[in-house]
Amino acid sequence: MTWIARLKLLGGVVSVILLVAVLTVVFTQRVSHATSESASIEALSYPVGSTFGGVVTHVYVQQGGHVKKGDRLIDVRPTQTDALLSKNAKTPYSVTTDGVTTLLATADGSVADLNVPAGGFATAGQTIATVDEDDSLYVRAELTLSPQDYARILPGAAATVTLPNQRDLKGHVESLEVRTEAGQAVTTAKIAVKGLVDHGDLGLQSPGTPVQVSIALHDDGVFSGPLDTLRGFARSIGLLP
């Protein structure tokens, strides 16, 4: 065997080893993260309604409009005159002399839903409008995990939320719910994300926007030690942030 052939063979073997190293990094990345099957941005919201049936006489807000605490939302004139007799000062509505009830916003937020237009009839207990609270956006993610992987989600685990425009936001796991289906852990995770602004990113950061969530799993495999060393090295020379 000539020396050139030997060197070629050696070069080939070395490149194969490098390839396997790269693939192993990919593999470890994959097994160190769990990716959501379905995830979306959600918001805490409160429904607005009246305890009695009546005709909606005036709507002060528009769908999507922003309201402040105490803003008037909707006027309802009850069909039952009993309502006039109610004098409870703590109710979130005021009663005028003609019996019209005005529903008020209880927190800052934006109007998500308006179910009854002016002139429409609202039954007792019906949700007439829904208001999404400001700064209450979070991400809900559903993942199907093996029991081993489920055990590797630690409280407060780091999560990456990818918006439809491929922007990544950092967050962490706030709470977990789990049920078992065919031996797999069907997990619903609530991810708290700092920097989610309602209607930010050209409206992409709104409740209901589909996103992708990748949750870091606690890595205790054979390759975690060397990889952490590698990552630390990459950071120290400025390859990784």
Spatial neighbors of 188 by CB under 8 A, at least 6 apart, are 140, 141, 142, 176, 177, 178
User: Do 214 and 34 touch, CB atoms closer than 8 A?
Assistant: yes
What's the CA gap between 55 and 78, in Å, rounded?
A: 6
Q: Which of residues 128-147 bind another protein (CB under 8 A)?
A: 146
In angstroms, the first-to-last Cα distance of the chain is: 47
User: Do 199 and 112 touch, CB atoms closer than 8 A?
Assistant: no
Which of 30, 68, 69, 231 touches another protein (CB under 8 A)?
30
Q: Which is nearer to another protein, 23 or 234 (CB)?
A: 23
182 binds another protein (CB under 8 A): no
235 binds another protein (CB under 8 A): no
27 binds another protein (CB under 8 A): yes
Q: Which is nearer to another protein, 19 or 239 (CB)?
A: 19
| Distance in Å, CB of 151 to another protein, minimum | 12
What's the CA gap between 114 and 126, in Å, rounded?
A: 12
Q: Is the dihedral of CA 43, 44, 50, 51 positive or negative?
A: positive
| Distance in Å, CB of 22 to another protein, minimum | 10
Q: Which of residues 7-26 bind another protein (CB under 8 A)?
A: 8-9, 12-13, 15-17, 19-20, 23-24, 26
| Distance in Å, CB of 10 to another protein, minimum | 10
Which of 163, 180, 204, 223 touches another protein (CB under 8 A)?
223
| Distance in Å, CB of 5 to another protein, minimum | 5
Instruction: Write the interaction track for another protein spanning residues 36-75; mark x where CB under 8 A is met and - where it is not.
Output: ----------------------------------------
Q: How far is CA 156 from CA 66, 170, 171, 179, 191, in A?
A: 32, 12, 9, 20, 9
User: Do 223 and 188 touch, CB atoms closer than 8 A?
Assistant: no
Residues that contact another protein, how many (by CB under 8 A): 23
Q: Which residues pair with 47 in a beta bridge?
A: 130
Structure tokens at 212: 């992708």
154 binds another protein (CB under 8 A): no
203 binds another protein (CB under 8 A): no
Helix (H) or strand (E) segment spanning residue 230: helix 224-236
| Distance in Å, CB of 90 to another protein, minimum | 57
Q: Could you list the residues that contact another protein (CB under 8 A)?
A: 1-2, 5, 8-9, 12-13, 15-17, 19-20, 23-24, 26-27, 30-31, 146, 148, 221-223
